[in-house]
Copies of this chain bind each other. A is one copy, B any other.
């Protein structure tokens, strides 16, 4: 199977697609731009969901469900919102065999339908905050799609909260950004930069958008999650007024925040290699696979030995499987489980058995060593933790290595070189993350994007204090430190 994977050095885009298809994570569907998430991809999504959902609940949020169809007139109530989403809508014009009085769109995001309900549920400050979240799919008509990274329909969660004060809403926005960061780092092994978006990149309808940005192996940035402070924009658009503690009327303050199946794409692109998928053990549907190696006369003994170890691994909390398929050779199985990203492979033949040992291979480093079977379950738990840590550290080192401070336009252009086109098979990508001072003027940003496709990914939250000096693009006094990159 492994030969089906195009090496990264030949064509990075094709390498990615080869992994998604060959590891059976997702497939193209007959509906243009929509994907099928196959069981191995969905199992990863379930683990991502569980990690986030647990933290959403710990921070006081409740799940609920709002209709997938939204009246077109709702979209139009917030002027920036409709401008941003209208070009991407799928529109239902007929239902039950009749033309509808008003067309409905399939939700591209749910602020409007949710705030139309909040109007009924919020009368007093006593009704606040509302801390709601829903897991669902959304639809945004996209011309150019790529499995997991950009599809017309994708799975996500969207948190929508309503608050009494601006400060409460701002704190919520930052709290959820931090939840996103924490799970990305600890569970998905994605080192991310938490920052604020520039005006041109913010969510349609937001006052401010915050994000976590990760670097892929081709040195491009990928936005992995966003948290929006919506001010009173939707409160006003849907007339959600409440009685304050002081007995006055005020509009409710809002946030919204989302992560999607795009995170699966980020995990693949960050950790995988030319042999296939590499998965953080926390996300891996199977964490260890035992591959028995035997001849007819040793079969029964080796299999019994493997079964015993399998039971012990499970007891130790390891998601382990035994690959007893007799129609496949051990070598074929090695390649298959490498393709699928199983973090640990345990090979056991008659000689290993006699010596009370097993050959254990790590998917992340390829290291292989004979280990005592007696202590193997405890050792496997340790190794899985080591792999989890290593994947994060490796990705972080890669990002640091490919991040460069730039002081001038010339330095910035030299760093990125000529744009090779988003879809081109770039043997060696140029650039990475450039860190430079920025005046805050959108025209500087737009000119750079038009020329190079390099954009401001974010203004990192922990780097804004005492920014002095001049804009690396125009030379005027700088207001922010910005992270520049080409992006997905």
A interface, CB within 8 angstroms of B? 27, 29-31, 34-39, 41-43, 45-46, 62-71, 74, 86-97, 103-104, 106, 113, 116-117, 120, 126, 132, 136-137, 139, 141-143, 152-153, 155, 327
Contacts and interface: CB of A to CB of B under 8 A. Distances in A.
Nearest to A96: B141
A343 to B, nearest CB: 20
Residue of A64, A113, A117 with highest tally of chain B CB at under 10 A: A64
B90 A64 contact: no
A36 B65 contact: yes
A93 B94 contact: yes
A31 B104 contact: yes
A161 B316 CA distance: 33
A137 B68 contact: yes
**Chain A interface SS verdict (over half):** mixed
8 contacts: A27-B120, A30-B74, A31-B113, A68-B106, A68-B139, A86-B97, A90-B94, A91-B93
Contact of A96 (B36, B74, B89, B126): B89
A91 B94 contact: yes
Contacts of A65: 36-37, 42, 45, 137, 155
B69 A42 contact: no
A67 B39 CA distance: 14
A320 to B, nearest CB: 16
Given A89-B96, A90-B92, A91-B94, A29 B132 contact: no
A42 B64 contact: yes
A244 to B, nearest CB: 16
Given A62-B39, A95-B141, A143-B96, A90 B67 contact: no
Nearest 7 pairs of A and B residues by beta carbon: A96-B141, A39-B62, A34-B67, A37-B65, A91-B94, A95-B141, A90-B95
Given A88-B96, A106-B106, A69 B31 contact: yes
Contacts of A152: 95
Contacts of A62: 39, 42-43
Given A62-B43, A67-B36, A97 B90 contact: no
B67 A29 contact: yes
B106 A66 contact: no
B89 A95 contact: yes
Given A29-B66, A87-B97, A91-B95, 12 more contacts: A29-B113, A30-B71, A36-B64, A36-B117, A37-B64, A37-B65, A38-B64, A42-B65, A65-B155, A68-B139, A93-B93, A96-B141
Contacts of A153: 67-69
Nearest to A112: B30
Residue of A62, A69, A139, A141 with highest tally of chain B CB at under 10 A: A69
A36 B66 contact: yes
Nearest to A103: B94
Contacts of A90: 69, 92, 94-96, 104
Nearest to A73: B30
Contacts of A106: 68, 92, 106
A128 to B, nearest CB: 14
A36 B90 CA distance: 21
Nearest to A67: B34
Given A29-B117, A30-B74, A34-B69, A64 B39 contact: yes
Contacts of A29: 66-67, 113, 117
Contacts of A103: 94
A32 to B, nearest CB: 9
Contacts of A42: 62-65
Contacts of A39: 62-64, 132
Contacts of A30: 71, 74, 113, 116-117
A91 B92 contact: yes
A27 B41 CA distance: 34
A43 B67 contact: no
Contacts of A41: 64
Contacts of A132: 39
A8 B36 CA distance: 46
Contacts of A117: 27, 29-30, 36
A139 B90 CA distance: 15
A300 B148 CA distance: 54
Contacts of A71: 30-31
A67 B31 CA distance: 8
Residue of A41, A66, A97, A117 with highest tally of chain B CB at under 10 A: A66
Contacts of A137: 65, 68, 136
